[in-house]
Structures are given as structure tokens and as C-alpha cells.
Amino acid sequence: MNFDLPTDTAAMCQALTAFARRDLRGAETFTPEDFRRRWSLTGKQGVLGLTVPEEYGGSGMDAVSAVALMEALGVGTDDTGFGFSVAAHLFACLMPIAEFGTPEQKLRWLPRLSSGELIAAHAITEPEAGSDIFAMRTTAELRGDEYVLNGTKAFATNAPVADILLVQAVTSPGGGFFGLTTFIIESGTRGLRTGPPYSKVGLRGSPTGEVYLEDVCVPRDCLLGSPGAGAAVFSASMRWERTCLFGVYLGAMRRVLDSTIEFANEREQFGTSIGEFQAVSHRIVDMVASVESARLMLFKAADDLSHGGNGEIWSALAKIAVSEAAVRLGLDAIQVRGSLGVIDGEAETLLRDALPSRIVSGTNEIQKNNLARALGLGRRRPVRRR
């Protein structure tokens, strides 16, 4: 494994951190206007289309460079929610369009989505269908030349502000893996409504909301991929998201780790800095070890994705490692700060932002189920007869 970044990517990382420190700080609270303003600035930096092919307005980077840049974004901004929104847009929306879209769809959407003009959301989850996506009830019925969609989606990142939505719907009831289809739907389409952002424990700078579809009519050219390819689109988007989005968390952890070391050196008790106490310094060493091992795993997953691996195993392992490390780091960063850790600040914000990370992109329990299956666990063995 060699994760050396090309010189221009390393320089871009530095520039992106500097940009995020300057222009994307201090707004954990969400307002649509400020979100759009930051979105447009982020688009101008080339971040929103990092992995999109150059011919469609992106930078054509691979997953390793993308993780490095997401990490740089997470280091610079203290609004991990905004970084999360950027990554969900790019990896769960633009990449599926780049992989499954027709040339016309790519030309129509990708340049504007990459430039920051438009915002995208991918609506899969439903009130009664979270981990079990095949329990979804949203339907798309072919009537003449149009599909008619009905249903309710929940917890869609960016939905409250989205200009286009990728919507998963059942086209063949009982069809399992081949029963779902993905549609690209514009926000102004009749019958489509989005709800306000939920009030969440963390990632408050990322608007997450519901999507209501009542007799939404769309022409056949709104299909992303062929009919029945919805689960394949979903899986591809999750592979990208599970790997690259978590770079934002790596960056947030690095930022909080640095400030924790600084705090431990400056805070004095019993006539010396608390970093002198082994209980504190060992805790910080454990924090470093946890972040660095999660980092290695995430880059390994990105390397696997960049080299055409199917990404399933490494992205699941890395997703678990990064999200669990983020929660632990939040707790430890609070503990090192004592009472100062529980009032508004970087440490408690990291903990709150980290909590959803164990749930999004497929919960950690579901990742473990998938990993166990990949290891051949739970397969019934034939009974040996003597």
C-alpha cells in the first residue's frame, strides 16, 4: 500500500483546509441562505465535483485523493454537518449519476451539480424501511409513457434544500434486488414536497428531511439506470459514501485531537500541566492510536475502490472503525477538558456529530452482518453422516 498523494493533491488539501478555516467556520446552525452561500463558495473551490469525470465538470480524482480532500475539509471547518452534506451530495448523488446516467443525463446535471449551482439529495430510507430497504413502500407505476410515484421518504440529507432528488421506488413488487428503480426528479415537480430540516443531536449544519411524493409524474428519461437497477445504484452510491464521506470525520477528529493536546499542555492543576499526568497523556496516546488506525483503514478502503475492488469489505470495516473512533474521541476529548468539555465547544460538538455516524450509510450492526456473511459465517453446513 502506498498512500502518497500526488503533489498537486497535497497542495489542494492545504488550500482546502485554509479555505474551510476562512469561509466555512462557525455555523453549526442551519439557514437556507447561508447554506447556499457556502455551497456556491465550495463549488468554486472545485470540491463538489472532485471525483466526477473532467468532461462533466469535475476533477476526475480517485477515491484516495477524495478521502484526503474530505479529511482536509474536516480539519478546516468546525461545521462537520456542512462537510457531511457536501460529501453526501458528491458521493451518494453525483457518483451514481456519473456511473449509471445516460450521456444526456450526465451533461444535463453533472456540470451544474459540480459547480455549486445545484444541490442534490438521495432519498432511500422510509419511515418503515431503514436498514431493510427492500421493505420500502414508495411505488413507481408505469402509466403510458410516464411513471407515477407515490410514497414518503425520511432522513434524506440535503432534501430540504435540494434542486434534484434521486428517489428509490418499487417498480416490481416482490422483485427483491431487481424490484427497485432510481429516478432523478427536479424539486419543482408537481406532487413533490420536502419537509423542514429535522432538529438533530449533531450534524446540525446538514439539513436532513422528509420527501413526500403524491402522484408525481415523470417521463421515462428520468430513470437513472435501467428499470430494476435501483439496488445496484444504491449499492454503488453506498460504496462511495461509506468510504469517502468518512474522510470528513477523520479531519474533524484530527482537529479536535490537536486542540486536546494543546489544552492538556496549557491547563494546569496541582502546579503542573495536566498533560504531565499519565492518566491524561495515556488517554491522548490512545486517542491518537485510534484515529491513526481508523485513518489507515479508510485509506485502504479508498485504495481498494480506486483499484476497482468492489469495496464492500474494506469500506464496511473502515466505516465501523472511523465512526466508533469518532464517538470515543468525542468522549475522551470531553474528559480531558473536564467541565470545560461539557459546555459548548469542539469536544462536545464532535461527540454530537459523531453519534449519527454509527447509523448513516448503513448502521454498524448491518455492516457487521454483511462482513459476517462475507466471512462465510452463519452458512448452514451439511450434517456429516458416519
Q: Where does this chain bind ligand FAD (CB under 6 A)?
A: 88, 122-125, 130-131, 155-157, 203, 208, 356, 359-360, 362-363, 365-366, 369
Count of other CB atoms within 10 angstroms of residue 303: 20
- For ligand FAD, give the closer residue by CB, 124 or 329: 124
For residue 280, the surrounding DSSP H or E stretch is helix 278-306
Residues 6+ away with beta carbon under 8 Å from 375: none
Residue 97 Cβ, how far from ligand FAD at the closest point, in Å? 15
- For ligand FAD, give the closer residue by CB, 285 or 372: 372
Residue 369 Cβ, how far from ligand FAD at the closest point, in Å? 5
Rg of the chain in Å (alpha carbons): 22
Residue in 126, 241, 346, 348 annotated catalytic: 241
Cell numbers for 213: 411524493
Give me the amino acid identity at 232: A
- For ligand FAD, give the closer residue by CB, 126 or 303: 126
> Given the DSSP bridges, would you call strands 223-224 and 180-186 parallel, antiparallel or unpaired?
antiparallel
Residue 363 Cβ, how far from ligand FAD at the closest point, in Å? 3
Q: Closest residue (Cβ) to ligand FAD?
A: 130
Quote the CA–CA distance of 213 and 148 in Å, as a whole number.
Answer: 9
Helix axes 103-115, 32-44, angle to 10 degrees: 110
Residue 12 Cβ, how far from ligand FAD at the closest point, in Å? 26
- For ligand FAD, give the closer residue by CB, 167 or 280: 167
Place of cell 436498514: 131
Phi (first) and psi of residue 2, to 5 degrees: -135, 110
Quote the CA–CA distance of 70 and 254 in Å, as a whole number.
Answer: 12
Is 241 a catalytic site residue?
A: yes
Q: Are the CB atoms for 174 and 135 separated by under 8 Å?
A: no
- For ligand FAD, give the closer residue by CB, 101 or 356: 356
Residue 193 bridge partners (DSSP): 212
Q: Could you tell me the maximum CA-CA distance found in the chain, to the nearest angstrom?
A: 80
Known catalytic residues are 241
